[in-house]
Amino acid sequence: MIRIVLADDEHLVRGAIAALLGLEEDLEVVAQVGRGDEVEAAVAEHAADIAVLDIEMPGATGLEVAGRLAGSAPGCGVLVLTSFGRPGYLRRALDA
């Protein structure tokens, strides 16, 4: 079972993504948070394998959180989601 922490400040988006991921038998959304500064604690508490991060959230951006997780939870993979096409986001996400 792949354990996922889902972080998005949009409740409806977060719920929809969680519902879709829940349809897969080998995926489990173990925590949902609405702020970037809540992600690290949720990843640690739930021993998450993957963190799915919105790129723009209050508390900390998905890019900031991705960089922090590289140090605090190196075994946790990161997937960054965004609907924004701002210059530099892809490079910064890959660097994190």
For residue range 1-33, list pLDDT tens digits in order. 999 999 999 999 999 999 999 999 999 999 999
Token pair 């079972």 is found at 1
Burial per residue of 30-58, b for 16 or more beta-carbon CB atoms within 10 angstroms, e otherwise: bbbbbebebbbebbeeeebbbbbbbbbbe
Average pLDDT over residues 32-61: 97
**DSSP SS3 for 67:** helix
pTM above 0.85, yes or no: yes
Give domain limits for the chain: 2-95
Q: How far is 52 from 27, CA to CA, in rounded Å?
A: 12
Task: Given CATH 1.10.1740.10, say whether it is the number of domain 2-95.
Answer: no
Q: Please tell me the predicted confidence (pLDDT) of residue 82.
A: 76
